[in-house]
Structure 1
């Protein structure tokens, strides 16, 4: 029985919000697509074609950069993207990706950055890379964004797995990630990425479900690394979500069921928040509306995720991000002898920017 027009619109919006064009076209095919999407079926096909072209471009750039990094003797892990799609679904164009996420060891960060610039990439959101600012950026941030204008390819160059820094945890990640298979380290990275974003896109949980089916035993393998990293709560959160979405079809059932049964109150809270956003379909990144209530929810959720770092590390992270802004570093370009002045300039600069924003807003209102 064909869906009603209101269902067509809802189904199409759902695929849009969760970025499921390629996988949906493959799963629905012409037999089911018109019935479930009505007039939106040709739009899905067009979106899937555009996605394929974009992913082919990304995939070609990824392979080129892997060869260049290998030739330069640099360690490179490619996170998510067309490489994950190829290993997981046998087709690099099925899984939506908007950029390439590259991970390098901190000691090789600036060599990697210079290699990318030599390949035609331009830094978008970082200060001039003189030695003093390099140290500040590497300490206070976790990735740089670069863009290749001719190829229209964006790259996020990471030197840490997570925004909040803890040296003793970072050294435990297994670098580089394997290129021909999905191992525990990469699974755990995908879990931290999804958890950090409240799992508000179903494509991320779909990837984890596909990994569960494709790599038997990976949950047990990941548990030891998760314990060392303090990430058992995220592991349990994901198991709860998979059990909620696919209670019958989930593979590795015994391992996942064990995680579900032993889930801590913290993990159940994290899973409940993710479920609420998925059911209400109102995550701020989808609605472009961030109310005070949502700000509190997001802050409480992130605080729960970051609890494993302890208060000293979390407080240092908050102070560092508040005192050292990329925008300030790019504007002032202070020499090494004056780096201590960045925090002192922060408050006056914020006041000036607030005043300019109010002036611009008044100008717009009064024509």
Structure 2
């Protein structure tokens, strides 16, 4: 590892460090034995589940002849491992069905994660967890996709409240649930929400790959596009689940075209985010960084962002479950802002001038008068703030 990219990881829970050392270890390697003392095994299990590292952890423990963990921990990991394997097998079938439905109705679709990612990065769908299926389609096909999904039993979660079509850039996916199959899918029209810059759908489609885990053709991102997506997705979530960082570690070990990748990150103003991911992966996963990656990790910003994100690793942060503690939400908002380029920060700040749905809730107006929300926006914002402070 480059000496100048070492970050302070001394406050990471001992139990999590043990998990990482086991995952990094070779068969019957006991170099991490010092970590085995004074372990809270309840926390060990909780952290393995929280970070979604338990499939790889369980596999590593099985291959090691030494009895590293209490039997009840091993049995619990086994149960979660088996449950996840069955779920991944089920999602493979669902993925094939959705791919077939979309193809038959001339909707191009790219699967972003799920079983495809597990097979591609780990060579085995049981080695990675997945809660849903993420599918990227062209924005102009959203209405058609909605009709098709409803026809096969999916129900749209209408949690997005939009005003003047701001959903197109404030958000990046719609969520659907199948009440009978108990399956959740996310239909994306962007990889990430604005103001992040990213390749367009046609560009991604031209570089797509076809998976071999389904009978019917299903497609996913090209190597470099996948790395770009995993990096920007993980950064946006503060790397609060180390499964995402393990994905980066797995990809670093493959034959990536680093010149192409660097140009991709540069074009989309994300060099520093790529550097953050590599620095974290080197420090926590033991990834080997070489000279081809130098352009990504150069400068102070990537290491500053990597150091900041250790905040999430030191705690067990769940950004998807409300209410998020105030300390966490305030830190996360600042961290997201620090990830943006100067241009993205300007666009983000200007976006506050665009009306929010809250303005329509504060002062309902007929559709033909919605344009008035632009000049009224500052007044309505001040009114809400004043009213909030005035309430007992």
Structure 1 residues 5-24: aligned runs within 5 Å: 6-24=39-57
Summarize the Cα distance change of 1:63–1:229 in structure 2 as closer, same or farther, 3 Å threshold.
Answer: same
Summarize the Cα distance change of 1:147–1:107 in structure 2 as closer, same or farther, 3 Å threshold.
Answer: same
**CA deviation after TM superposition for structure 1 residue 226, in Å:** 0.8
Is the contact between residue 124 and residue 147 of structure 1 (CA under 8 Å) also seen in structure 2? Answer: yes
Q: Is 1:178 aligned with 2:215?
A: no
Number of the residue aligned with 1:48: 81
Number of the residue aligned with 2:250: 210
**CA deviation after TM superposition for structure 1 residue 6, in Å:** 3.5
Moved more, 96-105 or 286-295: 286-295
Summarize the Cα distance change of 1:83–1:326 in structure 2 as closer, same or farther, 3 Å threshold.
Answer: farther
Summarize the Cα distance change of 1:318–1:348 in structure 2 as closer, same or farther, 3 Å threshold.
Answer: closer
Q: Is 1:255 aligned with 2:292?
A: yes
Is the contact between residue 12 and residue 37 of structure 1 (CA under 8 Å) also seen in structure 2? Answer: no
Q: Is 1:300 aligned with 2:340?
A: no
Corresponding residue to 1:164 among 194, 208, 212:
194
Moved more, 342-351 or 134-143: 342-351
Number of the residue aligned with 1:225: 264
C-alpha deviations, 1:238-271, integer Å up to 9, x for none?
Answer: 1211221244x52x63323x246x5222212111
State the SS of the aligned residue for 2:85.
Answer: helix
Q: 1 CA distance for matches of 2:183 and 2:310? A: 33
**CA deviation after TM superposition for structure 1 residue 319, in Å:** 4.1
Structure 1 residues 249-328: aligned runs within 5 Å: 250=288, 253-256=290-293, 258-259=294-295, 262-278=297-313, 280-283=314-317, 285=319, 290-320=324-354, 323-324=356-357
Structure 1 gap segments, 5+ residues each = 360-367
Is the contact between residue 99 and residue 154 of structure 1 (CA under 8 Å) also seen in structure 2? Answer: yes
**CA deviation after TM superposition for structure 1 residue 162, in Å:** 1.6
Corresponding residue to 1:188 among 218, 228, 238:
228
Summarize the Cα distance change of 1:8–1:295 in structure 2 as closer, same or farther, 3 Å threshold.
Answer: closer
Summarize the Cα distance change of 1:47–1:342 in structure 2 as closer, same or farther, 3 Å threshold.
Answer: farther
Summarize the Cα distance change of 1:16–1:107 in structure 2 as closer, same or farther, 3 Å threshold.
Answer: same
Is the contact between residue 284 and residue 290 of structure 1 (CA under 8 Å) also seen in structure 2? Answer: yes
Summarize the Cα distance change of 1:293–1:137 in structure 2 as closer, same or farther, 3 Å threshold.
Answer: closer
Structure 1 residues 65-84: aligned runs within 5 Å: 65-84=98-117
**CA deviation after TM superposition for structure 1 residue 79, in Å:** 1.0
Is the contact between residue 75 and residue 104 of structure 1 (CA under 8 Å) also seen in structure 2? Answer: yes
State the SS of the aligned residue for 2:341.
Answer: helix
Summarize the Cα distance change of 1:77–1:304 in structure 2 as closer, same or farther, 3 Å threshold.
Answer: same
Aligned-pair Cα RMSD in Å:
3.7
Corresponding residue to 2:182 among 152, 177, 186:
152
Moved more, 171-180 or 44-53: 171-180
Q: 2 CA distance for matches of 1:98 and 1:81? A: 8
Number of the residue aligned with 2:59: 26
**CA deviation after TM superposition for structure 1 residue 328, in Å:** 5.6
C-alpha deviations, 1:92-135, integer Å up to 9, x for none?
Answer: 2321111111111222222222222222111112579xxx9794
**CA deviation after TM superposition for structure 1 residue 71, in Å:** 1.5
Q: 2 CA distance for matches of 1:21 and 1:115? A: 35
TM-score when scaled to structure 1? 0.79
Structure 2 gap segments, 5+ residues each = 1-29, 212-220
**CA deviation after TM superposition for structure 1 residue 206, in Å:** 0.8
Summarize the Cα distance change of 1:157–1:57 in structure 2 as closer, same or farther, 3 Å threshold.
Answer: same
Q: 2 CA distance for matches of 1:327 and 1:52? A: 46
Is the contact between residue 237 and residue 263 of structure 1 (CA under 8 Å) also seen in structure 2? Answer: no
Moved more, 152-161 or 293-302: 293-302
**CA deviation after TM superposition for structure 1 residue 305, in Å:** 1.4
Summarize the Cα distance change of 1:170–1:56 in structure 2 as closer, same or farther, 3 Å threshold.
Answer: same
**Count of aligned positions:** 344
Is the contact between residue 138 and residue 201 of structure 2 (CA under 8 Å) also seen in structure 1? Answer: no
Is the contact between residue 19 and residue 201 of structure 1 (CA under 8 Å) also seen in structure 2? Answer: yes
Q: Greater helix share, 1 or 2?
A: 1
